[in-house]
Amino acid sequence: MKKLILAILAVFALASCNNDKSYVIEGTLYGGAQFEGEVIYMVPFGSASTEGQDSAVIRDGRFRFEGEAVRPEICEIRMRQMMQLFIDKLVCIKEPGHVWIVLSKPSSTKGSPLNDSLQVWREYKAQVDEKISNLNKLIKKAEGEELGALRTELDDIRHDFDVHNKQIVDR
């Protein structure tokens, strides 16, 4: 058992010595051929300015960003408004490693620890949103005790989602 623990610690020690801060974010687009030559932007999340913005041209339905990530940074992959009729914007994490993005409805990301975690949360949130939407439709038609039970169920789902989010933040 001690040898196993020492081996695991050694692997973590070696991994933490890796000073490679390079990242590659590669993506494909749903309906990529129709967007040939369009520009995709990677913008720091919440930024209204062009500072820190990167761009890539779509070639053969693909795009690529690469560079150095000194620390993980939340970014948004954006495109011009008309493209958003077919493709969802995407929040991703710029961090060392190789990340793969699929821009569609819904968009997704994978390949690095934070992006993988973000994608798991995104899928969980989509399930919660669908449950809430379905309950809201039922609530509009319900009356009396049924209405009260549906509202309680809706409150429980929202509460569970908040608890789940808090657990993630507290990790």
What does the pLDDT average to over 41-56? 83
DSSP-assigned states of every residue in 25-72: EEEEETTGGGGTT-EEEEEETT--SSTT-EEEE-BTTEEEEEEE-SS-
Query: φ, ψ for residue 135 (rounded to 5)?
Result: -65, -40
- Lowest model confidence (mean pLDDT) among 39-43, 53-57, 83-87: 83-87
- pLDDT recorded at residue 153: 95
Nearest CA to 27 out of 89, 118, 114, 69 is that of: 89
- Helix (H) or strand (E) holding 23, with range, is strand 22-29
Whole-model pTM: value is 0.77
